[in-house]
Amino acid sequence: MDTIHQEEDHPLIPSSSDQTLHLNREQQQPEESNLISKTWVESKKLWLVAGPSIFSRVAMFSMTVITQAFAGHLGDLNLAAISFVTTVIISITFGFLLGMASALETLCGQAYGAKQYHKLGIYMQRSWIILFFCSIVLLPLFIFAAPILKLIGQPANVADQTGLVAVWLIPFHLSFPFQFTLQRFLQSQLKTVVIVWVSGVALAVHVLVSWVFVYKLRVGIVGTAITLDFSWWLSVLGLFVYAVCGGCPLSWTGFSAQAFLGLWDFFKLSLASGIMLLLENFYYRILIIVSGYLHNTEIAIDALSICISIFVWESMIPLGFLAGTGLPTRAMKDQTPFEAWGSEAGLEGVLGVGFGGAGVERGGNPL
């Protein structure tokens, strides 16, 4: 009887449903292991783009932080003035132009994936025209900074000094259209090593020049602002020389009249993302304006601007990481359509690295 019960519990010929369940289990195990391996491959590909992008963004923003640090040795008023310009006024133009430049990233990624390399240079020149025009439109924020600040009730001494610094940082503002577009032009072709080198050299030069101007020449707050202008334009010059002097023979074929075609469509494509990033980048900067109404205005602006600068400094990491997760970048890198497993593996790779980065930041910050 025991033998009969054992045979009933473990039949010699399994049923069709048991066979199907067994086959599904056997197929599921290789798929899971295959997904893990593909996720690891996707993560490595992601860091090839995201790593240099993070370094370049951190390096370029570090120039602003270093300028604030040197300005702090010139007095509380000078630090408040340059902090107000870089944290409030520059954040408006920076966010708007950076958002508009994202349209170029999309178009360049699609053109590179389709192997229409000549279009990349045309798109970049078209973006130069649109973004430079917008930067000219935004110039009144710098020219009339002092009257605007007095109009909203800021102290006269802070408003006048901020207006002086804002005028001398106009070249810094005018470098954004070229800096943002050249970075996306090269990044879409995976020429990220060049961006790293140029950003690193520009940062090193900025530290040296700031030290000479502040401690040796003692040129004051105007000289401190000029060092920031010089360093950003040095970065623009380095990227431009590489792009047009043989570094991109397929994508740069010279200046073209086609860049003036379709400007309105390109502007409409860029405008929405520009406004979106402007609002995301500016809303918490209002705290700087509010701090101007407090007692000890200079110290309040100094302290709050330093805190916001640290926050933005840290935010350069996810912004750079985001550059490696975009569909245009991944599509042009693989030059193949996204399959079901590719999307899942890519998503898991992004989430895995993202949670890992959050864990590192949390470990370094007890809050």
Return the structure tokens found at 349: 């790779």
pLDDT higher for 332 or 204? Answer: 204
* Residue-level pLDDT at 16: 54
**In the predicted structure, residue 180 carries a pLDDT above the cut 80:** yes
* Poorest-pLDDT segment among 6-20, 142-156, 230-244, 309-323: 6-20
Are the C-beta atoms of residues 69 and 83 closer than 8 Å to each other? no
- CA separation for the pair 45, 346 (Å, rounded): 9
Mean pLDDT on 254-268: 86
pLDDT for 69 equals: 87
CA-to-CA distance for 76 and 305, rounded, in angstroms? Answer: 12
Mean pLDDT throughout 305-316? Answer: 79
The DSSP element (H or E) to which 143 belongs, if any, is: helix 140-143
Cβ atoms within 10 Å, residue 42:
23
Token digits of residue 103: 């349209």
Single-letter residue type at 247: G
- CB atoms closer than 10 angstroms to residue 360: 11
Locate 143 and state its tokens: 């020219």
Within a 10 A sphere around the Cβ of 47, how many other Cβ atoms?
16
Helical H segments across the chain, by residue range: 2-9, 16-71, 76-84, 90-113, 118-137, 140-143, 145-151, 156-168, 170-174, 176-187, 192-211, 220-242, 263-282, 286-291, 297-323, 327-334, 340-364
pLDDT digit string, tens, across residues 68-100? 888 888 888 888 889 889 888 998 899 899 888
How many angstroms separate the CA atoms of 260 and 241, rounded? 22
Distance between CA atoms of 162 and 72, rounded to whole angstroms?
14
- Residue 229 confidence (pLDDT) above 90: yes
Q: What is the DSSP letter of 336?
A: S
Is residue 121 within 8 Å of 189, Cβ to Cβ? Answer: no
Residue 340: other Cβ atoms inside 10 A: 7
Taking phi over 0 as left and psi of -120 to 50 as alpha, with beta for the rest, 177 belongs to alpha
CA distance 78 to 224: 10
Per the rule left: phi > 0, alpha: psi between -120 and 50, beta: everything else, 337 is beta
In the chain, the percentage of residues whose pLDDT exceeds 90 is 25
**Distance (Å, rounded) from C-alpha 333 to C-alpha 324?**
10
Per-residue pLDDT at 164 exceeds 50: yes
First to last CA, the chain: 68
Task: Say what the pLDDT of residue 279 is.
Answer: 82
Please report how the helices 327-334 and 16-71 are oriented relative to each other, as an axis angle in degrees rounded to 10.
110
For residue 235, is pLDDT > 90?
yes
For residue 62, the tally of other CB atoms under 10 A from its CB is 18
Q: What are phi and psi of 98, to 5 degrees?
A: -65, -40
Judge whether residue 360 has pLDDT over 50: no
In the predicted structure, residue 335 carries a pLDDT above the cut 50: no
Q: What's the rounded Cα separation, in Å, for the pair 209 and 115? A: 42
Contact 52, 195 (CB under 8 A): yes
Q: Which residue has the higher pLDDT, 90 or 359?
A: 90
Tell me the pLDDT band of 326, cut-offs 50, 70 and 90: low
Measure the CA–CA gap between 226 and 235, rounded to whole angstroms.
14
pLDDT tens per residue across span 276-302: 888 877 777 777 777 777 777 777 777
User: DSSP code of 338?
Assistant: P
Question: CB of 120 within 8 A of CB of 109?
Answer: no
User: In a 3-state reduction of DSSP, which class is residue 228?
Assistant: helix
15 DSSP 8-state letter: -
Q: Please state, rounded to an integer, the average pLDDT across all residues of the chain.
A: 78
| pLDDT score of 190 | 82
